[in-house]
Amino acid sequence: MTKRPTILVTRRLPEAVEARLRRDFEARLNPDDRDLGEEDILAGARGADGILTSAIDRMPASLIRRLPDSVKIIATFSVGFDHIDLEAARARGITVTNTPDVLTDATADLTILLLLAASRRAAEGERLVRERRWIGWRPTQLLGLGLQGKNLGIVGMGRIGLAVARRARAFGLSVHYHNRRRLPPEKEEGAVYHETLETLLPLCPFVTLHCPLTPETRHMINRATIELMPPEAVLVNTARGGLVDDEALIEALRSGRLFAAGLDVFEGEPNLHPGYLELDNVFLLPHLGSATRDARNAMGFRCLYNLDCFFAGRPVPDALT
């Protein structure tokens, strides 16, 4: 009988995904979903052929250089891969894969939720009701912003950005976007391309971020770029927390320079900047972008398909290295 590959799994995964892991691999699972440090990962990877990790498990060069020689592939349960040092993996001959496509709709839906919730002051209203402070309808109570006839600026027009654009049009928004390169006209569907943030931001009272976190994009939303946005604009981020300079955003929200923000991701999460907790005009979610049963199962099965292909000697569809 052919020996089944051994896979270290750093996080508890959906039940259906773990069932398939147990069926097809020698799976070293993490049923308690405890945080694994570098030494835990190194111990668990002894004799393993691969690692199935996630966006919250950092795999820096210092860890990858120490992995056992038996480890030939790292499959991450995420689209983003900034938590893995790809150069270190490439130097070791380790294949790294991610899970594109499968969480596009779930994240786009959540983006619209954040956009609506921030614009319509949903967090304040929900607290008012829960805390029994609501005294009834008033003509000027919790007035928010309407979307119809306004411009939405999408920063990063990949799969998720395109899905957000389609949804945004249904709410009467006109779409502008900034991307590393312009899309072909059939993909733009009438969206207006901007080569730089400097031309995009002044035209867009609503802005949503969908680009990867790189050295070039880190803190792309900062004091200077916030000053380019229209007064009382709304910012949404479902991409990566590091795209935003927290101090600058909190200052703008506190002063009223920005009307509101909707945030699903944070720099240093789960330890978000405490300043956000003091603000009424920010709608906060705990990184729920892909948190539907359908999307999380699909992410897991995409990881497994990459592992299947790798160990069968077939081309690996989502290989990053």
pLDDT at 1 over 60: no
Residues 152, 44 share a domain: no
Residues 196, 78 share a domain: no
Residues 119, 98 share a domain: no
Residues 179, 33 share a domain: no
Q: How far is residue 143's CA from residue 248's CA, in Å, rounded to a whole number?
A: 25
The domain containing residue 53 runs over which residues? 6-102+293-311
The pLDDT value recorded for residue 125 is 97
Q: Is residue 320 part of a domain?
A: no
How many distinct structural domains can be found in the chain?
A: 2
Q: How far is residue 69's CA from residue 45's CA, in Å, rounded to a whole number?
A: 10
Strand order in the sheet with 258-263: 192-194, 174-178, 151-155, 206-209, 233-237, 258-263, 282-284
Residues 243, 214 share a domain: yes
The pLDDT value recorded for residue 75 is 98
Q: 270 falls in which pLDDT band (50, 70, 90)?
A: very high
Active site residues: 240, 269, 287
Q: What average pLDDT score do residues 241-255 get?
A: 98
Q: What average pLDDT score do residues 291-317 get?
A: 97
Q: What average pLDDT score do residues 49-72 get?
A: 96
Residues 80, 151 share a domain: no
Q: What average pLDDT score do residues 227-256 get?
A: 98
Q: What average pLDDT score do residues 46-67 get?
A: 96
Q: How far is residue 62's CA from residue 87's CA, in Å, rounded to a whole number?
A: 12
Residues 108, 90 share a domain: no
Residues 241, 113 share a domain: yes
Strand partners for 96: 74
Q: Is residue 316 part of a domain?
A: no
**Stated length of the chain:** 321
Q: Is residue 108 part of a domain?
A: yes
CATH label of the domain that carries residue 52: 3.40.50.720
Q: What average pLDDT score do residues 229-253 get?
A: 98
Q: 215 falls in which pLDDT band (50, 70, 90)?
A: very high
Q: 152 falls in which pLDDT band (50, 70, 90)?
A: very high
Q: Is residue 321 part of a domain?
A: no
Q: 317 falls in which pLDDT band (50, 70, 90)?
A: very high
Residues 303, 277 share a domain: no
Give the global pTM. Answer: 0.91
Q: Is residue 264 part of a domain?
A: yes
Residues 279, 225 share a domain: yes
